Amino acid sequence: MEQRRPGLASRLLTYLVPAVAASALWAAWLGWDQHHDVQPDGSVTGPYEAWQVIGLALTLLAPVYWAVSRHRNAAAALGVPVGLAVAAAYDWSDDASGLFAIGVGILLLGSLAATAAVSAVIASVKRGGPPTVAVAE
Is residue 41 within 8 A of residue 82, CB to CB? The reply is no
CB neighbours of residue 104 within 10 Å: 20
pLDDT of residue 96: 82
The band of 133, judged by pLDDT with boundaries at 50, 70 and 90, is very low
pLDDT of residue 103: 93
pTM (2 decimals)?
0.81
pLDDT at 6 over 90: no
The band of 135, judged by pLDDT with boundaries at 50, 70 and 90, is low
- Report CA-CA distances (Å) from 115 to 42, 49, 60, 65, 100: 37, 22, 9, 10, 22
Nearest residue to 15 (alpha-carbon basis) of 61, 77, 69: 77
Rounded Cα distance between 103 and 2, Å, is: 47
**Percent of the chain whose predicted confidence (pLDDT) is above 70:** 89
CB neighbours of residue 33 within 10 Å: 14
Rounded Cα distance between 49 and 130, Å, is: 36
Q: Tell me the pLDDT tens digit for each residue of 25-72.
A: 999 999 887 777 788 888 877 788 889 999 999 999 999 999 999 888
Is residue 60 within 8 A of residue 27, CB to CB? The reply is no
User: Which residues touch 15 (CB under 8 Å, ≥6 apart)?
Assistant: 72, 75, 78, 79
Tell me the mean pLDDT in the region 65-86: 92
